[in-house]
Amino acid sequence: MPSRSELAARSLLNAMTEQSPTPSRRELANAIRALSMDAVQRAESGHPGAPMGMADFGAVLWNDFLRHNPADPKWINRDRLILSNGHGSMLQYSLLHLSGYDLSIEDLRSFRQLGSRTPGHPEYGRTPGVETTTGPLGQGLANGVGMALAERALATRFNRPGFPIIDHYTYVIAGDGCLMEGVSYEACSLAGAWGLGKLICLYDSNGISIDGPVKGWFSDDVARRFESCGWHVIPDVDGHDAEAIHQAIAQARAFTDRPTLIVCKTVIAWGSPGKGGSEKSHGAPLGADEVAATRENIDWRHEPFVIPPEIYQAFDARAKGADWEGEWNQMFARYRAEYPGPAAELDRRLACGFPDDWEDLAWNFIHATQDKHEDLATRVASQRALQAYGPHFPSLVGGSADLTESTGIPWSGCRPVDFEHPDGNLIYYGAREFAMNTIMNGLALHGGYIPFGGTFLMFADYGRSAIRMAALMKLRCMFVLTHDSIGVGGDGPTHQPIEHVASLRLIPDLSVWRTCDTAETAVAWKAALERVDGPTALIFTRQKLPHQERTPDQVRAIARGGYVLLDCGADPEAILIATGSEVQLAIEAARQLNGQGRRVRVVSMPSVNVFDAQDAAYRESVLPAQVTRRVVVEAGVTAPWYKYAGSQGAVIGIDRFGECGSPEIIFQHFGFTTERVVAAVTALFTSGANF
């Protein structure tokens, strides 16, 4: 219950509000400008120009159109708002604060500070109401394409006459820099092809970047470019005329067959008399004198971080947000009664649920896979796993960047996504690796889908930034990366990944699996599907790999990331560690050495990060510390593996680019032979290494 002092304060506020005139649209926008320039000035760093320039259409969108509930930022049918030019974060923070989200004025005063809920660029999961982490330009817009696709697909799947259960818009605010980045073009081309009519992009066309006026390096006819991609375009909207902005958004919402780009002509740092329209306002505080001059210029008579009650009241979305969600809840209750099956499926999707018999189903498949003793390329084994698991996950949606068959993405029962069938579960992205990964992130962020996408490992570089963003946001995405080594052969060094597996393992919170056969692949897919708090990279071969013999306990141990695949019957004198296609080399070498009277253990380590997360006792049981004779074998860069090989061990890898030739010849050329592995272990017995 509120205290007497709190009740008194509320009464005073209500009285003041009743006596205050209704603020104008310009005053609402100026509140955003003031908060933005004050926060940047207090932080002594940041970007005041963008939020000051975007304030007018931010205020119109937020107050006139956006359906959301500040008390429940995760309400499934809320409109999504993405600030793709994330350096303008104070625009979003100001709007979240003013409209009633759990973001206080003290949070705004702590802008850009350690531990703050208002970091320099918006971060998903840190600030309530932030839909995605933005900063790397263009990716927010591409995320929006994924969210809009999810909305259209879920609506097609679940809506029924009289029950628009999934029915919301995705709004994106983007700047010149976003549209310069290639990923925006990749993603927007797909948005047009898919006819995402509830995707609306407000383009902050101020013609200024950090380096100055963009006309010298960005002369695109943006309107015609988007029209060519199948978008509606509303050109030359005055970005500082609230009524013009309102009319443009209303017009965009009336288009339902295609996405819409609204070109808003704005002045960066509008209101600043000395730095408005200049790159000087882009990436640095205005300065105390210019802040004071701006206050005078826009007639803002309040102290820093002080907002009049009438402004708060005008922005406050808590009551209408509660009404919107309440009405939706009532509709969904009626929907659940009339359509219990679809309602239950939607519930399970949104809760990241699993089939009731998932553990039994998955392990039965894994053990059956082990028992088949099949020699397969792991990309084919991956497809087999999808065949087994996919039908039990209606939310699973896969795709590929123009390498669908080569990467083993299609599975039985999959249906292509296209303009007429947005609710399919197979996406043809075309040769657009970056867009694929960012759209996958958008699908995951929206909810209701578990996305995965395939390309060659070599081309992971094209979409690496989006993989990193998935890890930063802890999204449930799976990146299927095939053709994983010099085994690509005749395609030559341009297609032979050398450093890629190691570099992916360096990304925090990304789980990486490189499997050696069908059973490890089946376990890897199980682990990826179960990982709801982060992405997974699944790395597979083009070439056929031999089946490895295992006991049931060894099959179960695969899930621990590293395990003893071949033991020597006694305390080992030496240990061979390998992944993927090189595991068989280690097996052959160990058998030869053990036949000579040595005691050599083979450890398969399909997932380094999963193994590292095991308890110390388990890791010691696999890699006893006293055994320092260790050789690691992997067809990639060597440096990261000395963590396991130690100073007295050896690593057999590749620290140069590949060559063109048949896979068999290439592996021999680079020394991936049984003889070399045997020689490396033998050398340790004469070098003084201990056991």
Angle made by CA atoms 135, 141, 142, in degrees to the nearest 5 = 105
Token digits for 156? 């097609």
List the one residue out of 624, 630, 633 whose CA is nearest residue 644. 630
Task: State the Cα–Cα distance between residues 624 and 611, nearest whole angstrom.
Answer: 14
- How far is C-alpha 327 from the chain's CA centre? 32
Question: Facing residues of 455 across strands?
Answer: 481
Distances (CA, A) of 218 to 129, 376, 455, 486, 518: 32, 49, 31, 40, 50
Q: Answer whether 623's CB lies under 8 Å from 608's CB.
A: no
Q: Answer whether 184's CB lies under 8 Å from 143's CB.
A: no
Task: State the Cα–Cα distance between residues 486 and 500, nearest whole angstrom.
Answer: 12
DSSP structure string for 233-275: EEEEEETT-HHHHHHHHHHHHH--SS-EEEEEE--TTTT-TTT
Token digits for 440? 């996958």
Our answer to whether residue 573 is catalytic in this structure is no
Q: What is the CA radius of gyration of the chain?
A: 29
Question: Facing residues of 600 across strands?
Answer: 574
Q: Answer whether 286's CB lies under 8 Å from 269's CB.
A: yes
List the one residue out of 12, 356, 366, 439 whose CA is nearest residue 184. 439
Q: Which of 186, 433, 582, 634 is catalytic?
A: 433
Q: What is the crossing angle of helices 49-60 and 242-254, to 10°?
A: 60
According to DSSP H, which parts of 506-597 are helical? 518-530, 552-557, 583-595
Q: Answer whether 153's CB lies under 8 Å from 170's CB.
A: no
Angle made by CA atoms 190, 151, 421, in degrees to the nearest 5 = 60
List the one residue out of 505, 511, 535 whose CA is nearest residue 444. 535
Q: Answer whether 28's CB lies under 8 Å from 59's CB.
A: yes
Catalytic residues: 433
